[in-house]
Structure 1
Amino acid sequence: MNESSPSSATLASPQPSTGEIAEARSALKLLFALPGFHRYDRGAEVALLAVASELARSGDVVTVAGSGEPRPGAPYRFYQVPSVRRERFERLPKFPPFRSETSWEDATFATNLMVRERLADYDATITCSFPFTQWSLRAKSPSRTAHLFVTQNGDWPAVTNASEYRSFDCDGLVCTNPDYLARNQEKWNCALIPNGVDLKRFQPGASCRERFGLPANRPVILMVSAFIESKRVLDGIKAVSKLDDAFLAVAGDGPLRGEARQLAAELLPGRYNQLTLSADEMPDLYRCADAFLHLSLLESFGNVFLEAWACGLPIVAHETERLRWILGAGQFLCDTEQEQQLVTQLRSALFAGKTPAPAGIERFAWPAIAEQYREFIVGILARR
């Protein structure tokens, strides 16, 4: 090809910097709303705050509404909306639409959100909490505002037509895995956008076990999980008890904490520790482990898989096509309801050891994921 040709000139032209791109495009005014923001550091909160942070850094005007405390250095505006903590509702009756302690918490948050925040000020609102927060966002926003629902906790509001689910509506459904996309794309305006991971924070590194009360002379298996039925922490305790020398550390909390503590005292005396840590401490905790265990039979996505992978840990989890889509073929997946398979894979993972330089994780970096969110929102607004 002639070097003076137009095609060659186009290829040789300098590319705009990230800052120039941010200046060139119109800033979006976005509201991320979830009662757990800045109060809990669980999967949904971590994922959506990461997206909010990246969009704010790229030049959009981002507000985060949550019930926790402001965090110094956050790139977005934080608006504290009071709510009653979910732990206060653990013993209350469960009935539609108050199906769990998180639904009760959501109702108190949504009520205050409607009263305190000017929802007319935003181009788009984003949540993964249904029904009450989603209802409040749609009730008080003008028709020009786009509403995104993210399937962080499942796509059940979008696919269920009974009880309060019949009221579900959105302008855009973010599907965090291909299953959700296939189930919903004919009914809703969908985009397949996975979760991501902060590769600057989650990476292999030196262990600091003494800081977390973990033994220096035993293999450590880590679970990062809420103490609820679907996470199967009790099954994890039983499986690790079959390994003579392994220590189980569980980072999380929830209604089954007492049962787990009692079972561990019987089956894992001196080989169990429950921790409740801040998000800032989690990368160091991953680096203290020798293997990662997660026993949910089906996760919407599971940020913890990416965090463990990025830190070089071998992963033992339940075999599903969805998880293979995320992790590929290099991990230790099996039918975790078969205890012998699970124990065998735990042994194999510990024998394989950690990876000093995880390959393939780069495609899940948060800046790339946040840009997919932005493109989806811009496309919705362009059609309004």
Structure 2
Amino acid sequence: MSIIKDTARPVFPFTAIVGQEEMKLALILNVIDPKIGGVMIMGDRGTGKSTTIRAIADLLPQIDVIADDPFNSHPSDFELMSELVKESIISGDSLMTKLINVPMVDLPLGATEDRVCGTIDIEKALTEGIKTFEPGLLAKANRGILYVDEVNLLDDHLVDILLDSAASGWNTVEREGISIRHPARFVLVGSGNPEEGELRPQLLDRFGMHAEIRTVKEPLLRVQIVEQRSQFDQDPYICMQAYDDQQKILKAQIADAQLLLPEVIIDFSLRMKISQVCGQLDVDGLRGDIVTNRAAKAFSAYHGRKQVEISDVKEVITLCLRHRLRKDPLETIDSGFKVKQVVAEIFD
């Protein structure tokens, strides 16, 4: 119990969250393989979107970083290091390392581009010849999770910047001929309420997965959720203690899946079927095919298997494709149902 009380801020246990299986699965698969490209969670107000997203970060194993480095640089992977750390390692300097919790960064709705990307001190650069960089939220989120609530209300220009950094793994800041580049590899998680407006299709398509969540209708489940929340608010540590064993099991499962992922293979016949589904649904580009392949591998690794099965593809394909379909304003059929229909035709 004393171990749990050492945590800076009590986090509602992920394994205690009732329902919303689609959102939970999408988050787990993205932390197993961040290259899936993040997840967009759309749903009603008060359905636990923020609670679930904050809870997933608490499940991840700690990461090794260079001490006092603002970019959470990896001690041995050049792709995840800042330029300064690279130079120090090439020079043979010995650098101190430390273990930290996976960063969980919230992007406020009113954030400016400078706050997100960071700023260069032009005056110092011109007068003293020193490149002084004030890191932004993208630097802080490197190797972690960047969460944007109400992403559909965020300025399109900022959404573009976030998606570009998430896809390339780098953030570049340029001012007055001075350029600074740093690693920015993070799982981008956006949430929003469709009543407040949709994201532009070309931005929505850039999110790897799209989870739709609805308010729980069953009275018994609603009572259970309310009771759990009340217990957590009354004494978070007792609630965390009650779910400690389940949290440890899931934590180990995610860590094992991350290690197993490079060994997972997906047969050519399955890849063909995935592409057939994408073709029949008239999905633009190849992002849908790529993400579905990645997600199916992550799902297989999550269940401890090295070979992707048909059932793995069926579990993830709706999450990967439903937001990539062209919307017909007169269409009454749900996009998720449409994906399932085509999957049933091709796979069965």
Which fold has the larger relative contact order, with Cα–Cα distance below 8 Å and residues 6 or more apart in sequence?
Answer: 2
Q: What TM-score results when the alignment is normalised by the length of structure 2?
A: 0.26
| Richer in helix (by share) | 2
